[in-house]
């Protein structure tokens, strides 16, 4: 007998990018104006959206974004990562699940992102069709352990809807 689908599924994703001068830094779809360095990446290097997309996919055992957007494919160069997130969200919705809330931890030594918390949370909420209060974003520094990287960890709770 096949068990009925779980009403809730947890998803978890991580992403990290090396930082280098002369590149823009975009996190959660928000340009970080004070950043002196940006992500080295094949796409736009938005580690927040990458971790979140992987969290959505992992929640339903759908693999990871590397399978859908391999970094060896020149067609994905400079890709807007909102497209990656929306693709992952579509795959989840097609299986009759929607995100109920998301929680993220962004580890970056500089610049301090606290002033951008609301802008990032609001942008993520809009993309995921959630309320601002359903997206929690925490900021940490690496305490100098990884000053040349941005790292993001993301969890989402997926809820089954009728369908």
Per CB under 5 A, residues contacting Zn ion are 15, 50
Kindly write down the DSSP assignment for every residue of 7-54, as one continuous string.
Answer: SEEEEEEEEEEEEEETS--EETTEE-TT-SEEE--SS---HHHHHHHH
Residue 122: count of CB within 10 angstroms of its CB: 16
Structure tokens at 72: 């060896």
71, 77 contact by CB (below 8 A): no
CB of 18 to Zn ion, least distance (A): 10
Q: Are 52 and 97 in contact (CB under 8 A)?
A: no
Nearest-CB residue to Zn ion? Answer: 50
The Cα 123–Cα 95 span in angstroms is 24
Between 37 and 50, name the residue whose CB sits nearer to Zn ion: 50
In the bound state with Zn ion, the residue whose beta carbon lies nearer, of 41 and 92, is 41
Smallest separation (angstroms) from Zn ion to the CB of 158 = 21
- The owner of tokens 């993309």 is 127
Adjacency order of strands within the sheet including 97-107: 37-39, 8-21, 149-160, 97-107, 135-140
Least separation in angstroms between CB 141 and Zn ion: 20
CB of 96 to Zn ion, least distance (A): 28
CB of 35 to Zn ion, least distance (A): 16
């Amino acid at each position: 007998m096949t068990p009925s689908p779980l009403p809730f599924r947890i998803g978890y994703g991580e992403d990290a990018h090396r930082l280098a001068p002369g590149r823009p830094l975009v996190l959660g779809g928000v340009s970080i104006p004070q950043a002196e360095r940006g992500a080295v990446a094949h796409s736009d290097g938005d580690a927040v959206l990458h971790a979140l997309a992987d969290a959505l996919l992992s929640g339903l055992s759908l693999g990871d974004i590397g399978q859908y957007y391999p970094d060896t494919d020149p067609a994905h160069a400079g890709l807007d990562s909102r497209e990656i997130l929306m693709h992952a969200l579509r795959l989840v919705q097609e299986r009759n699940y929607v995100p109920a809330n998301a929680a993220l931890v962004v580890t970056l030594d500089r610049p301090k992102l606290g002033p951008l918390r609301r802008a990032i949370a609001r942008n993520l909420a809009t993309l995921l069709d959630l309320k601002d209060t359903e997206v929690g974003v925490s900021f940490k520094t690496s305490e100098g352990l990884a000053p040349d990287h941005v790292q993001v960890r993301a969890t989402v709770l997926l809820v089954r809807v009728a369908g």
